Amino acid sequence: MSKRPIVAEDFMKLKYLGDPQISPDGKKIVFTVKTVDSEKNRYLSHLWLADVESGEVRPFTFGEVSDASPRWSPDGRRIAFLRTKEKRTQIWIIPADGGEAFQLTKLDEGSFSSLAWSPDGQKLAFAFRPTHPDWTQDAIKKREETKRSNPPRVITRMNYRLDGFGFLDMRQHIWVCDALTGHAQQITNGDYDDHDLAWSPDGKSIAFVSNRSADPDDRPYIDQDIWVVSATGGALRRLPAPIGTKHSLSWYRDQIAYLASDDREDPWVPRHTRLWVVAADGRSDARCLTLSLDRTLGHTTLTDTQEAFTGGSLPLWSADGQKLFFLVSDQGNTHCYSVTLDGRAPTALTHGALNVVSASADASARRFALLISQPTRPAEVFLGSLDGAALSLRPLTQLNEAFLSEVQISEPEEVWFSSQDGTKLQGWLLKPPHFDPKKKYPLLLYVHGGPHAQYGNAFFHEFQYHAARGYIVFYTNPRGSTGREERFASAIRGDWGNLDFQDVMAAADYAAALPYVDPQRMAIAGGSYGGYMTNWVVGHTDRFKCAITDRSVVNLLSDFGTCDFPGTIDGYWAGDAWERIEPRWNQSPLKYVKNIKTPLLIIHSEGDLRCPIEQAEQLFIALKRLKREVVFVRYPRETSHGLSRSGPPDLRLDRLQRIADWLDQHL
């Protein structure tokens, strides 16, 4: 049977796997599977179970729910997870050998994270942020019934909202609940946010991350510390660790491993995330174990088949506590590494063109559950068996195999080329399935967001879709990207539109010189920072026939106070937004809007808090006043910055079709 081309609707047929957790005995793996219910225009997520020995893979939970964050009890007999049902989330438990899941907690409406069992299996700890009483579903429904208006929000903090979440009206704290009764107790308090918890091995204490400085909103991600509190609450104890962002705590005996960035100046400063350990008793300073590894830790590869910046997973301890396992972003890939406690010679355990999205280990740390995405395959669950200095990989799931067997998939070709100053750059060319080297094809150049992220060897439906429609799709990692040396990522700090622009244009030059590319039919597109760079490019060259700017940055002055990450004075950018405005204004695409002659499609979401829609509004009105060809597609408030990855299915489809129509119209 001949295979068909990929179409826009195909993202609704994919199964999106996530969060594989291997049982303590290494015999089973529980993971999540998200699917699209196209009839009701929604996502559903359930737990699935894979038997390592028999290879059996089966669904484990059912219903019109979204299940997430499965966690094995220490004895492997129960699985705790978060279930969202009718827009309310609680902790549920299901027996590992089957049976009916039951709701454990009955807390007020709110959001949960960092779910973790106590070592004895008698309690569960989690971070919880309650919904403000004015904005619970019941309160909103009551106002609607009585025809009352929504109340005002009184804002006194800088960090009062977050894209994809909304308003942070209430603080997030650490809670502990009984694993049998569900009785829950809040063990931290105060006008602070607490997150990323880890139990002590004896179950008596909990470590967590929090900014408890005099002004937590001034530098919310920088002045973070690791704190320890009794599992029943009480006084806090701070551990000595360098300033900077911290997350992903993992406690073994008398030491806590964690991931951190030395970003003391600004959370946007592209400093590598590294692996650290600190004594749990606080009697010695933290030590960095990956100083010799000039790569950032975690999974930073962007794709539309996973949420952006998932991070990867916790550092994983070996059974004897002499080694740690972690993920590293490297030239478009994410690999599993190990390092000994002396920090010598971090070692790659996986190799090749793939992205390890997340990982967990059994009690022996000899078997691993890995979620792996490949260039021609969406992420699936693999078993990793530690064999000396390598992980031997065996696929356990093939949930997207039926889909892949019916569609034509293009294999990306990795290329390296030089920028104007000789810097070597990495990219991938995706050709149409029935590519004819004698033909001339139109080309679509994509610029990724971040900017401190990377494109790479992961399945990308949108790219495959445009290739199937007869386009050469070219996606690259210009300076500012992760996956390379720290100086490569930091080269554009406070200097957007310079070296990165040179690199993007070098990619255009490289593509135009290919014998099968029509240099007169080239387009550029990008989202977030990629949208910024698209705006910058068309404001500085007429090279492209058309452009698509998605959830973009246009004016760095107004972005200072409207982004959900409030701007800092003399941080990533020099100056401020009211007096010393030149650095930000000179790097704002809006300053050069009069130069834009390229037909531009603007895509933006009203619910975007990362790059608020006022950015798109400024660009659109300026171009209309200048009588330029521009179309503004404005998606409703129920969408956010992540529309292309997790937005309502019908609007994701609409977006893809509008991009395709724009390209066809002009190319």
Residue 490 lies in a domain: yes
- pLDDT tens digits, 540-556: 999 999 999 999 999 99
Residue 297 lies in a domain: no
The 3-class secondary structure across 83-126, one letter per residue, is EEECCEEEEEEEECCCCCCEECCCCCCEEEEEEEECCCCCEEEE
Please report the DSSP string for 505-544 in residue order: HHHHHHHHTSTTEEEEEEEEEEETHHHHHHHHHHTT----
Model pLDDT, residue 238 = 97
- Comparing 122-126, 198-202, 344-348, 519-523, the range with the smallest average pLDDT is 344-348
Average pLDDT over residues 521-537: 98
- pLDDT tens digits, 142-168: 999 999 999 999 999 999 999 999 999
Q: Tokens 């992540």, residue?
A: 642
Q: Is 248 left (phi over 0), alpha (psi -120 to 50) or beta?
A: left
Average pLDDT over residues 641-660: 97
d(C-alpha 151, C-alpha 130), whole Å: 18
Q: Domain containing 574 — which CATH number?
A: 3.40.50.1820
pLDDT band at 268 (very low <50, low <70, confident <90, very high): low
Model pLDDT, residue 220 = 82
Residue 117 lies in a domain: no
Cross-strand bridge partners of residue 393: 384
**Which burial class, exposed, middle or buried, applies to 432 when counting CB atoms under 10 A from its CB (0-12, 13-18, 19+)?**
buried
Model pLDDT, residue 307 = 80
Nearest to 258 by CA among 212, 196, 205: 196
CA separation (Å) from 180 to 78, 533, 623? Answer: 11, 53, 62
d(C-alpha 590, C-alpha 441), whole Å: 32
d(C-alpha 344, C-alpha 291), whole Å: 9
- pLDDT tens digits, 568-589: 999 899 999 999 999 999 999 9
Dihedral angle over CA of 534, 535, 541, 542, nearest 10: 80
d(C-alpha 627, C-alpha 600), whole Å: 12
Secondary structure (3-state) at 487? helix
Model pLDDT, residue 265 = 66
Residue 288 has pLDDT above 80, yes or no: yes
Model pLDDT, residue 266 = 66
Nearest to 451 by CA among 308, 640, 276, 280: 308
The whole-model pTM stands at: 0.97
Is the distance from CB of 397 to CB of 18 less than 8 angstroms? no
Average pLDDT over residues 638-650: 95
Please report the DSSP string for 626-662 in residue order: TT--EEEEEE-TT--TTHHHHS-HHHHHHHHHHHHHH
> Tokens representing 72?
């094995």
Q: Tokens 């599993």, residue?
A: 336
Nearest to 61 by CA among 76, 78, 48: 48
Q: What is the mean pLDDT of the chain?
A: 96
Q: Are strands 323-330 and 316-317 parallel, antiparallel or unpaired?
A: antiparallel
Contacts of 116 by beta carbon, 8 Å cutoff, 6+ apart: 71, 124, 125, 126, 197, 198, 199
Residues forming the active site: 528, 641
> Tokens representing 300?
């930073």
pLDDT over 90 percentage in the chain: 93
d(C-alpha 583, C-alpha 381), whole Å: 46
Average pLDDT over residues 65-78: 98
Which residue type sits at 502?
Q
Residue 263 has pLDDT above 90, yes or no: no
Dihedral angle over CA of 457, 460, 465, 466, nearest 10: -60
pLDDT band at 349 (very low <50, low <70, confident <90, very high): very high
DSSP for residue 432: -
Cross-strand bridge partners of residue 174: 127
Residue 186 has pLDDT above 90, yes or no: yes
Q: Which domain holds residue 459?
A: 410-666
d(C-alpha 463, C-alpha 471), whole Å: 9
For the chain, the C-alpha Rg in angstroms (whole number) is 25
Residue 639 lies in a domain: yes
Residue 637 lies in a domain: yes
Residue 622 lies in a domain: yes
Model pLDDT, residue 389 = 83
Average pLDDT over residues 34-52: 97
> Tokens representing 150?
């929504």
Residue 319 has pLDDT above 90, yes or no: yes
Residue 603 lies in a domain: yes
> Tokens representing 233?
């609450």
Query: Would you tell me how many other CB atoms lie within 10 Å of the CB of residue 498?
Result: 14
Query: Would you tell me how many other CB atoms lie within 10 Å of the CB of residue 254?
Result: 12
Dihedral angle over CA of 116, 117, 119, 123, nearest 10: 130
Is the distance from CB of 311 to CB of 281 less than 8 angstroms? no
Residue 510 has pLDDT above 70, yes or no: yes
15 CA to centre of own chain: 18
pLDDT band at 222 (very low <50, low <70, confident <90, very high): confident
Model pLDDT, residue 310 = 63
DSSP for residue 461: H
The tally of domains found in the chain comes to: 1
Is the distance from CB of 539 to CB of 592 less than 8 angstroms? yes
DSSP for residue 13: T
- pLDDT tens digits, 419-464: 999 999 999 999 999 999 999 999 999 999 999 999 999 999 999 9
Nearest-10 crossing angle of helices 499-512, 529-538: 70
d(C-alpha 384, C-alpha 382), whole Å: 6
d(C-alpha 370, C-alpha 380), whole Å: 8
pLDDT band at 383 (very low <50, low <70, confident <90, very high): very high
DSSP for residue 271: P
Residue 327 lies in a domain: no
- Comparing 211-220, 230-239, 406-415, the range with the smallest average pLDDT is 211-220
Cross-strand bridge partners of residue 634: 604
- Comparing 104-108, 284-288, 523-527, 625-629, the range with the smallest average pLDDT is 284-288
Alpha helices in 383-448 (DSSP H): 401-404
Contacts of 344 by beta carbon, 8 Å cutoff, 6+ apart: 292
